[in-house]
């Protein structure tokens, strides 16, 4: 079957070149104009519910639990003191979280039910915008209101605005607070993260905002304002890893830390500061069984990060991309307290999302054993992809999409690939000269559309060797996503699920079958918009075959959220 076909399409490594060209041809022929998708970005409503969804087909009872999702919602705030406040970049849409409860039948032959609820949870940010008519807190890319005077902008540098966390959800966060007595739920709060050190706390049952926390509540040394939206979790211990970036001092300081699931304590694994590690925007990082692998990408902030305070947004504070500025990596021991054990570089580039990393014990020709580490990410040659997510481009307002393609050639410069870099951990401490000359080798590159974005794998294989990655994919039929890909990193082959025209899927979440022994023995859960009907459904695919097992249909559009997490029934 052809790449663009509806249904399940299998592709091999031999198809890569023609499929790349097919994707480019779809962009150049403006196929995206025929793919309705605006309902996932505009006119979005809360559904505090619970709303019973209509299940068609079958969703396995062993997938029971709650699928939490979060992401941007409203693209504007009405009735402010200055009229309607329009949000310019999708990543700054008003935070909107969702809960799909997958409820098994009480009888063996009964059908699994799905119950849905959602809530906006950036009430403080919305109230601030309504009062001021503009947003004073730091955003990802909100363009400044031209009517805001210089004095107001200067004063905003010293103001602490309300957070709008809308990237990732973390159930059962080590060190996190319990929901207080008297509130609707008991147990751990649900935390919502973005690329800052401020955490939003939600009641996991109602999704109601119940507080704001800082990483200093985890450890007093984590006092920097910047962190990583994507923490990493050890699948065996439940420990959570992240970094904190402090901008003060002669050089910015990165602190790599672990929050221990056993008792909630926090350990600082490494403190990194120096001219080789400037303040930079990083959205994710890696863990292996023994290491945290940390990459300062070619996304350096101007003025050592202080320009964020002036611009009031992240994107405009990043220096123009420079292809001569390499990515600098540090390998941090997470088992024996050794701190940084290796440093190396890779060519200039950028990635939002790490896929996975793992170690391999290998022997050289002399019979000596060495540890190689491999890091897989969805990589870009530059930072143009960050500029693709303005609402004007996503919704083709005033022909903005066509202009981005023709004038800026974004359909070519935003091409991505799954890249694997491999590096050998030195047996002895590196000298300054060895650090400066150490480079990792790119040993694997799988291009889109044989792989997409928002990657997910079997959760038990985080930090370990793996074979399959599942992604939200684009064949060039839609500005954002038109399919879901299962990519085999061993064979470079891909199996692609594509729905009818206008069916846009979100991030696929892998739920393993209990007791399953095969890596792809499980299901994928993805929220899909039917752009023609402007209604969404929760899609359940067999992760092995990519065939549809069932769906739970809503009578309304659900926002195209960013990331989610499945919490099994026994852990609720």
- Residues annotated in the binding site for Fe cation, as ranges? 230, 283, 353, 563
- The H or E element spanning position 43 is none
- CB proximity list for 194: less than 8 A, separation 6 or greater: 140, 163, 164, 165, 166, 167, 168, 229
| Residue 447, number of CB atoms within 10 A of its CB | 17
Three-state SS annotation for 464-482: CCCCEEEEEECCCCCCCCC
Closest CA to 458 of 536, 523, 529, 370: 523
Q: What SS3 class is residue 33? A: helix
How far, rounded to the nearest angstrom, does the alpha carbon of residue 474 sit from its chain's CA centroid?
16
Helices (H), strands (E): how many in the chain? 8, 35
Tokens matching residue 157? 């540098």
Closest CA to 500 of 470, 521, 477: 477
Distance from the first to the final alpha carbon of the chain = 42
**Which DSSP symbol is given to 157?**
H
Bind-site residues: 230, 283, 353, 563
Please state the length of the chain.
572
- In 151-290 the beta strands, taken as DSSP E runs, fall at 168-170, 190-193, 198-202, 209-214, 226-227, 232-233, 240-246, 253-259, 266-273, 286-287
- CB proximity list for 434: less than 8 A, separation 6 or greater: 426
- CB proximity list for 152: less than 8 A, separation 6 or greater: none
For residue 308, which phi and psi values (nearest 5 degrees)? Answer: -60, -40
- The H or E element spanning position 404 is helix 400-408
Paired residues of 40 in beta bridges = none
């Amino acid at each position: 079957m052809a790449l663009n076909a509806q249904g399940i399409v299998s592709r091999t490594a031999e198809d890569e070149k023609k499929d790349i060209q097919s994707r480019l041809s779809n962009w150049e022929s403006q196929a995206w104009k025929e793919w309705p998708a605006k309902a996932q970005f505009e006119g979005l409503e809360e559904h505090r519910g619970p709303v019973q969804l209509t299940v068609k087909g079958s969703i396995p009872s062993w997938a029971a639990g709650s699928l939490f999702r979060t992401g941007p919602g409203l693209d504007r705030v009405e009735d402010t003191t200055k009229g309607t406040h329009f949000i310019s970049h999708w990543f700054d849409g008003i935070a909107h979280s969702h809960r799909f409860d997958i409820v098994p039948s009480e009888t063996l032959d009964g059908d699994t039910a799905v119950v849905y609820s959602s809530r906006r949870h950036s009430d403080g940010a919305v109230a601030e915008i309504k009062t001021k008519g503009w947003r004073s807190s730091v955003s990802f890319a909100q363009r400044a209101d031209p009517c805001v005077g210089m004095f107001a902008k200067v004063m905003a540098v010293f103001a602490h605005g309300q957070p709008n966390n809308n990237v990732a959800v973390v159930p059962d966060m080590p060190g996190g607070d319990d929901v207080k007595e008297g509130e609707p739920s008991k147990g751990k709060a649900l935390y919502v993260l973005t690329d800052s050190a401020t955490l939003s706390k939600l009641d996991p049952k109602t999704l109601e905002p119940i507080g704001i926390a800082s990483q200093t509540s985890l450890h007093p040394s984590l006092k920097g304002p910047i962190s990583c939206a994507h923490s990493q979790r050890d699948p065996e211990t439940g420990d959570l890893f992240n970094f904190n970036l402090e901008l003060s001092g002669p050089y910015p300081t990165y602190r790599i830390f672990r929050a221990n699931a056993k008792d909630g304590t926090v350990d600082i694994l490494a403190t990194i500061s120096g001219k080789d590690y400037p303040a930079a925007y990083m959205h994710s990082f890696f863990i292996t069984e023994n290491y945290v692998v940390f990459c300062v990408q070619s996304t350096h902030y101007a003025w050592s990060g202080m320009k964020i305070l002036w611009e009031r947004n992240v994107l405009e504070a990043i220096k123009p991309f420079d292809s001569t500025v390499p990515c600098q990596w540090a390998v941090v021991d997470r088992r024996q307290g050794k701190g940084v054990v290796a440093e190396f570089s890779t060519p200039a580039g950028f990635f939002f999302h790490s896929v996975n990393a793992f170690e391999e014990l290998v022997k050289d020709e002399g019979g000596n054993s060495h540890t190689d580490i491999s890091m897989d990410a969805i990589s870009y040659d530059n930072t143009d992809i960050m500029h693709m997510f303005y609402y004007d481009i996503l919704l083709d307002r005033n022909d903005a999409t066509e202009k981005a393609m023709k004038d800026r050639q974004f359909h070519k410069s935003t091409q991505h690939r799954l890249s694997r870099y491999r590096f050998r951990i030195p047996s002895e401490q590196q000298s300054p000269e060895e650090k400066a000359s150490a480079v990792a080798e790119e040993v694997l590159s799988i291009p889109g559309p044989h792989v997409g974005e928002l990657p997910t794998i079997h959760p038990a294989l985080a930090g370990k060797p793996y074979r399959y990655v599942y992604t939200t994919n684009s064949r060039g039929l839609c500005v954002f996503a038109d399919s879901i890909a299962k990519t085999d990193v061993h064979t470079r082959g891909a199996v692609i699920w594509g729905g009818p025209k206008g069916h846009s899927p979100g991030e696929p979440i892998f739920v393993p079958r209990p007791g399953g022994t095969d890596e792809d023995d499980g299901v994928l859960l993805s929220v899909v918009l039917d752009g023609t009907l402007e209604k969404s459904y929760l899609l359940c695919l067999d992760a092995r075959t990519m065939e549809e097992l069932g769906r739970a249909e809503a009578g309304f559009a659900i926002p195209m959220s960013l990331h989610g997490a499945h919490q099994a029934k026994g852990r609720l």
